[in-house]
Structure 1
Amino acid sequence: MTVEEGASDANLLNSSELLKKIDKLREKNVGKHVPLPQLVVVGDQSSGKSSLLESLTKIPFPRDLELCTRYATQITSRRETESFVEICIIPAPDASLGHKTKVQCFKKTLKGTDDFRSEFPAILKEVNEYMEIRSDLSSKDGSVFSKDVLRIELCGPTEDYLTVIDVPGIFRDPTDGITTDNDIELVRDMVKNYIKDARTVILAVLPSNVDIATQEILKLAKDYDVNGERTLGVLTKPDLVTEQSAKAALCSLVLGHKRPLTLGYHLVRNRGADDNDSFDHGPGERMFDTNPWSSLPRDRVGVQALRRRLGELLGQITEREFPELRKDLKIQIDLCQQDLDRLGPALQTEHEQRAFLSGIARRFQNFARAARDAHYSEDAAFEHSDFRLLTHIVNLSDLFNLVFEEKAHLRCFEHPALDTDKGKQGASGDKPPNACKETKDWARLSAKQNETYESLDPSNFPELEQIISRGTGTEDPKRGIKPWIEELYLNSRGLDLGTFGGTILSSAFKEQTIKWELMTREYVSNIIMVVHRFLCTALGKVCANRQLYDRVWSSILDDLLERYKVAMSQALFLLSVERNRRPYTLNDYFSDNLQKMRGARVARMLEGNARGEMRKNDNGHWASSGNKVVDLEAVKEAAINQGNVEHVKEEIHDILWSYYKVSRKRFVDGVYMQAVEHCLLTGPESPLEAFSQDWVINLTADQLEAIAGESPVAKARRASLMQKVEELTAALLILKF
């Protein structure tokens, strides 16, 4: 071989512009982000992988103990003006933190590849110690295989652009005291992991002195390279084949006559275990000039031809994968940018932090006010029911009003007539015991109540435990109000002629409203939970990440709880005013109701003595006028027949009923307007106003840093992402030109 041919061979793998670009990508550490074109040497144990790797990289791998076949070895060649070698260990992804820390401490840099080759065996022994691999296979200490990766980077002015991976050889049967079934699966998984990528050229190493049908590596390669576009069969140890029939079978493989591969087979003669380190491939491969090897194409035999062939394959795969490589780089950049967006802007100064947090507060306030005013068209998030704040509150308030009207009184009132209260059929006293209002609104709101109550479980809000309460349900009003009033009167009366003491009405009203507190607490508790749930979800919507949400939420939570307490206290204050003060009202509705009740009672007493009025019509005939007539004597008799106790009992009942209606309406309106509308929704101290721009303005520098400042973990994450984006962007530029 001429000097010119030798120089051509030495530079074959870096002659392609595409491979030069791939090497530049490796310089930018792009290989740790996306797979790059590379060679992986795979085969059975003792198939000659290490010798082949030595032929390709010129690294003298020891073969007596197979030190380099217990873990994957990644060898990268890179063109540099100065010669040096860098060696490190890449820990397995699932390694423990302690093991990762240990192996990452192993780093070596040697000046000159000659020094490296002489020190390589000693370096491998040190690597085994770091990886905790047995140097003595008969020992029980350490493991036989490791998922860590030894990375060797060869740099120099004559190095080729090449990356080669050597993985442990696969085997089928465990060796007693050395390897196990788990080791078999571990090695198989390692091999699969390396050959599955479409940018990897698979060098399936097959010893010539064994039956190729017994070599499982070809089947594994086909599983991941169905069309055989990136699998090259490399036949080693042809010097050990002595029988002519076996040599002829090998020639048939290389010529594609038997078990063909798309990329075919290549025959090489490597340094054997008995050859010394000065083994020369030139004289060693002269055997290919003899029969029957001389009949094979020259580009299918020898290490130099293999190197040329690998250069062609790498170039072809690189050219084919370039579009996908660009696509992968863009996808990775987009993913990094999304992660950076989730981290939010870098906030280094107080001004940046305050401006950032103020923007978050502004968006929160805009969203909260839209929810409070039911402007649901302003944001698509309102399609989720939890964000429809005002709707939930109105539904709960309507239901509270209806339930309060039907069930808030302890005992059912009795009505003497059917034509009171604007034409309604009496009130609750006219209906059977335990009856409720049968209206469409009642049915609709009851269904809405069940739906809302299911989602408002106090156990979901443990921070509200000291504020809210949930009742077990409100009982229907009892029957028998008249006997109860009579007993109350008889136990409390004094020297009252035809009337009763004012304390009787106060006592009756207080007992009749005894359920108000439970129902009021439950109503306000439900509203508080609706508001609290909204604040949780709304804050999560506007915050850039979970960490910011947690910091803001913990900062405003105590203030929120105090505002909830104010709302509950206001409701209980209104309750105390209604129940613990003398019954009184300036509302004419009270006297109207009382007069209607009294008139209806008299009408009922006289109804039995009434007769139809007869008048002459225009024709002179007698006919009914539609009116009823009662004799004056019957009126006197009805009044005379009523005893004093019965009269007072009815008076207490009618006054209590008339005042109760006024008080109930006044109380329900007051609780909504003051405790709910003002304290929880629209007031200046509403919980919706807790996280605002004013709140941000009043934060100290230390408080701002605690809330908006980045944690060390976030800073490190941001720096890593920005570096990755920079590397990937530079990679795109390399591929562009």
Structure 2
Amino acid sequence: MLAEDRTRLQKIDALYALRLDQFVSLPQLVVVGDQSSGKSSVLEGLTGLPFPRDSGLCTRFPTQIVFKRSTSESKVVSIMAIHGQNKSRADAIAKFGKRPLTSFDERDFSELLAEASECMGITLVGKQENSDLNSFSHNILKFELSGPEYENFSVVDLPGIFRKPTPGQTRKEDIPLVREMISKYLSNPRSIILAVVPANVDIATQEIIQMAEDADPNGQRTLGVLTKPDLVDRGAEQKVMELLENRDGRTHFDLGYTIVCNRSQSDLSISNQERNARETTFFNSQPWSAIPKERAGIKALKHRLDKLLVEVTRQNFQAVAVDVQVRIHDLEKELNDLGPARQTPNDQRNHLTRIAVEFRDISTKAIDAHYNRDPCFREDVFRLATNVMAMNTAFSDTIELKGCTRKFRQSSSSAAAIQHDKKVENAPDDLDSSSAESLKTPGSPDSKSNDYFRDYRELKSLTGQSKAEPRRGNTSIMRWIKENHERSKGFEVGTIHPSLLPSLFLEQSRGWEYFARQHVEAVIRTIHMFNHKALFYCGKDALLSQRLWSRLSQLLLPKYRRALDHVSFLVQVEQDGHPMTMNHYFADNLRKAREDRIRLQLIGLQSWTTNDVQKEPLLRLKDTIATFVSNDGQSAEDLHDILEAYYKVARKRFVDAVCLQAVDHFLISNKQGPLWLFSPQYIGNMTDTELNEIAGEGNEAVSRRRRLMEEIESLKAGQKILAE
């Protein structure tokens, strides 16, 4: 073996001693099989250790046997404890220590295994039924043998698969536990699987073969080990030969199969040398002598495994170093996310203040749309300015399309132009009809937000209480205006009753409050979700963040209510007061509406000259006079134009007021608003009791911090070993 390979194997073994196999995939040889597969005999042949065949002790936990070339001889046994055990168990394992292996006598060996089992918390044989202790353990019993006669080699033996519990030894609930343990080792992509199966059974019935194929579907890292060839029925040897030659169509492993001869019952007392000699004699007999020498016998298997272990270690050594580095980085980030230890009020206040400062920074960036300055903005929920502006736009579109109870008459210059271009002889018959179709605007509060934010139950009492969407009027606007004009006539001559316009506007704008509340409620849910997500993003610790959110979420409700109350105020201003505007846009709209109406009335009266090459439309004076309407008709027309002109001005004013005041002022920009509640000042006003209730570390957090620190320490020790 090359010195470089020997060094690599020793370093990997040192990583196992640190139990880094719990965190990264390490190169290894894993021996697996049924309890009756002859696995213990294979292991004894490979290692020379007298594993008991009847007590079951050696199969209650993973067992690692490590050989090292050394100028001095040493034989020691120890327990490699898994991380995260309770203190009493860890202390018992530590007390077991690293002790010399003074005897290979089977009885002494069994006593050693029994003591190790007790330290691991495994119940003794015969006491399973009346014990609360485990029958199996993930702790590893390690045998380390050093000397000049050894080559560097290591192998891990796992508990055998069983299908029925044995009274006094195993329980029914142990069956899936053992399978889970085996699957975990087999799934390591850097392990070589030694699947031990008896040669005298149908290999297709062996569960371990199926488990190996599941873990290694391409068959690239599985070596089949056939045992008990002396029990193969006469005439069935050919099937075994086909397996050894990898010609069996049912299973195929790139590494193929090797066959070994187990000790018979009468051979249990003989030495390893005698055992090897009898095996050689057996494979020199017919028909077994036809097997290639490199695939028959325990020595051939050992030689094969030496090469495989060196190869898998050589191929994966650098990848292990990379995995260790990545794992350290991930755990350090997880530890950093926990923040500093929080045992005192000062520690707790400092930690919460740090979270509040980070939360303020995220909120400011979200309001200013500086999305390239933090990874959280990859999620749309954090893009607050963009989301609110999209909802403002949808709200404006919704009010424009659906805000009026009755659709105004289409009498614009564009309509007249269309009629003129088409050379329609008369004006449209139904200028007063309204569309009953309700248009949906993508992204509007009522089409998206309710479903998206339905999980925040604390908002139930505040939002989602709006009445049903107002229904559109079922009569044309001109008929409705004329009816109201008729019903409101007084003794005035040639004028409109002063109370008529306010009442018409009130009816025409009665849907505003519904749509405005829907919009502001949607913005509230957006901000509420932003606060929630940002708090958990900055807080890192889910338990701490949830405690803090439980307090903040209730304090946010009055701030949301102020915005909704302001919507009601804005509606009251528009609908309960006098129609009023200083905006010249009203006069422009009114003039334009009257011009369009007259133009539309006259467009159907046009005739064409025929005595000229250039045709021109002509109007006859007597026709224009005939188009004038009665006083009542003229009043209705004027009412329509005034109402439409004022409605447009008021609608734009109302939309701006809702977006600027209810949304931006009360919900976003105001320093007393919901986005500014969680702040260092808020933390500074907390009592020590409140600080401890929110930021105090529970036993789970303390244990998690300790576990992370232990794992990082072990990984850094492993990193140092790999770098030497």
Superposition TM-score, scaled by structure 2 size: 0.66
Deviations 1:229-287 (A, max 9, x none): 8859687798x99x9x99x99xx99x99x9999799687785855755xx544677776
Alignment of 1:363-374 (within 5 A): 363-371=361-369
CA positional deviation for 1:74:
0.9
- Taking the aligned partners of 1:659 and 1:226, their CA distance within structure 2 comes to 78
Corresponding position: 1:109 with 2:96: yes
- Taking the aligned partners of 1:726 and 1:432, their CA distance within structure 2 comes to 82
Corresponding position: 1:729 with 2:709: no
Distance 1:213 1:69, change over 3 A: farther
Alignment of 1:444-455 (within 5 A): 447-449=441-443, 453-455=447-449
Distance 1:205 1:359, change over 3 A: same
1:467 counterpart residue number:
462
1:28 counterpart residue number:
18
2:310 counterpart residue number:
318
Distance 1:68 1:579, change over 3 A: same
Distance 1:472 1:105, change over 3 A: farther
Distance 1:424 1:657, change over 3 A: farther
2:700 counterpart residue number:
713
Distance 1:102 1:55, change over 3 A: farther
2:523 counterpart residue number:
527
Corresponding position: 1:327 with 2:326: no
- Taking the aligned partners of 2:375 and 2:581, their CA distance within structure 1 comes to 48
Task: Give the residue type in structure 2 aligned to 1:732.
Answer: Q
CA positional deviation for 1:400:
3.8
- Taking the aligned partners of 2:668 and 2:129, their CA distance within structure 1 comes to 72
SS across alignment from 1:722:
helix
Task: Give the residue type in structure 2 aligned to 1:677.
Answer: D
Distance 1:431 1:49, change over 3 A: same
Single out whichever of 582-591 and 355-364 deviates more from structure 2: 582-591
Deviations 1:499-545 (A, max 9, x none): 78755655554444433322322232333344445555555666646
Aligned with residue 556 of structure 1, among 535, 552, 574: 552
Distance 1:723 1:486, change over 3 A: same
Corresponding position: 1:485 with 2:484: yes
Deviations 1:591-624 (A, max 9, x none): 77778889999x89x999x999xxxxxxxxxx99
Distance 1:407 1:463, change over 3 A: same
Distance 1:187 1:659, change over 3 A: closer
Distance 1:398 1:152, change over 3 A: closer
Identity %: 27
Distance 1:19 1:400, change over 3 A: closer
SS across alignment from 1:321:
helix
Aligned with residue 355 of structure 2, among 349, 352, 357: 357
CA positional deviation for 1:685:
3.2
Alignment of 1:115-134 (within 5 A): 118=107, 121=110
Say whether the 8 Å CA contact 1:548–1:707 is kept in structure 2.
Answer: yes
Deviations 1:665-707 (A, max 9, x none): 4333322322123223333334343445655666666656665
Task: Give the residue type in structure 1 aligned to 2:399.
Answer: F
- Taking the aligned partners of 1:42 and 1:611, their CA distance within structure 2 comes to 101
CA positional deviation for 1:456:
4.5
Say whether the 8 Å CA contact 1:174–1:181 is kept in structure 2.
Answer: yes
1:689 counterpart residue number:
676
SS across alignment from 2:472:
coil
Single out whichever of 280-289 and 325-334 deviates more from structure 2: 280-289
SS across alignment from 2:96:
strand
Say whether the 8 Å CA contact 2:395–2:445 is kept in structure 1.
Answer: no
Deviations 1:153-184 (A, max 9, x none): 34688797765444566799999999999999
Corresponding position: 1:74 with 2:54: no
Which structure 1 residue ranges, 5 or more long, are not aligned?
1-12, 613-622
Aligned with residue 575 of structure 2, among 576, 579, 593: 579
Distance 1:659 1:733, change over 3 A: closer
1:670 counterpart residue number:
657
CA positional deviation for 1:16:
4.5
- Taking the aligned partners of 2:482 and 2:284, their CA distance within structure 1 comes to 123
Say whether the 8 Å CA contact 2:194–2:224 is kept in structure 1.
Answer: yes
- Taking the aligned partners of 1:201 and 1:361, their CA distance within structure 2 comes to 50
Say whether the 8 Å CA contact 1:42–1:202 is kept in structure 2.
Answer: yes
SS across alignment from 2:141:
strand
- Taking the aligned partners of 1:211 and 1:611, their CA distance within structure 2 comes to 109
Say whether the 8 Å CA contact 1:571–1:675 is kept in structure 2.
Answer: yes
- Taking the aligned partners of 2:389 and 2:189, their CA distance within structure 1 comes to 61
Alignment of 1:120-269 (within 5 A): 121=110, 135=126, 148=137, 151-154=140-143, 163-167=154-158, 231=223
Say whether the 8 Å CA contact 2:79–2:142 is kept in structure 1.
Answer: yes
- Taking the aligned partners of 1:734 and 1:333, their CA distance within structure 2 comes to 12
- Taking the aligned partners of 1:261 and 1:670, their CA distance within structure 2 comes to 76
Q: Mark the structure with the bigger radius of gyration.
A: 1
Distance 1:433 1:288, change over 3 A: closer
Give the number of aligned pairs.
Answer: 663
Distance 1:19 1:344, change over 3 A: closer
Say whether the 8 Å CA contact 2:606–2:617 is kept in structure 1.
Answer: no
CA positional deviation for 1:151:
3.9
CA positional deviation for 1:573:
0.7
Say whether the 8 Å CA contact 1:89–1:103 is kept in structure 2.
Answer: no
- Taking the aligned partners of 1:189 and 1:231, their CA distance within structure 2 comes to 21
Deviations 1:297-330 (A, max 9, x none): xxx89xxx96898488447623541441331342
Task: Give the residue type in structure 2 aligned to 1:29.
Answer: R
Say whether the 8 Å CA contact 1:681–1:687 is kept in structure 2.
Answer: yes
- Taking the aligned partners of 2:221 and 2:514, their CA distance within structure 1 comes to 78
CA positional deviation for 1:717:
3.0
- Taking the aligned partners of 1:230 and 1:451, their CA distance within structure 2 comes to 59
- Taking the aligned partners of 2:399 and 2:276, their CA distance within structure 1 comes to 102
Say whether the 8 Å CA contact 2:409–2:433 is kept in structure 1.
Answer: no
CA positional deviation for 1:357:
1.6
CA positional deviation for 1:347:
1.9
Superposition TM-score, scaled by structure 1 size: 0.65
- Taking the aligned partners of 1:201 and 1:624, their CA distance within structure 2 comes to 97
- Taking the aligned partners of 2:695 and 2:390, their CA distance within structure 1 comes to 37
- Taking the aligned partners of 2:709 and 2:340, their CA distance within structure 1 comes to 15
Alignment of 1:570-719 (within 5 A): 570-586=566-582, 642=631, 660-692=647-679, 695=682, 711-719=698-706
CA positional deviation for 1:22:
3.6
1:9 counterpart residue number:
none
Task: Give the residue type in structure 2 aligned to 1:74.
Answer: T
- Taking the aligned partners of 1:727 and 1:83, their CA distance within structure 2 comes to 25
CA positional deviation for 1:364:
0.5
Say whether the 8 Å CA contact 2:524–2:560 is kept in structure 1.
Answer: yes
- Taking the aligned partners of 2:335 and 2:676, their CA distance within structure 1 comes to 26
Task: Give the residue type in structure 1 aligned to 2:576.
Answer: N
1:347 counterpart residue number:
340
2:330 counterpart residue number:
338
Distance 1:363 1:642, change over 3 A: closer
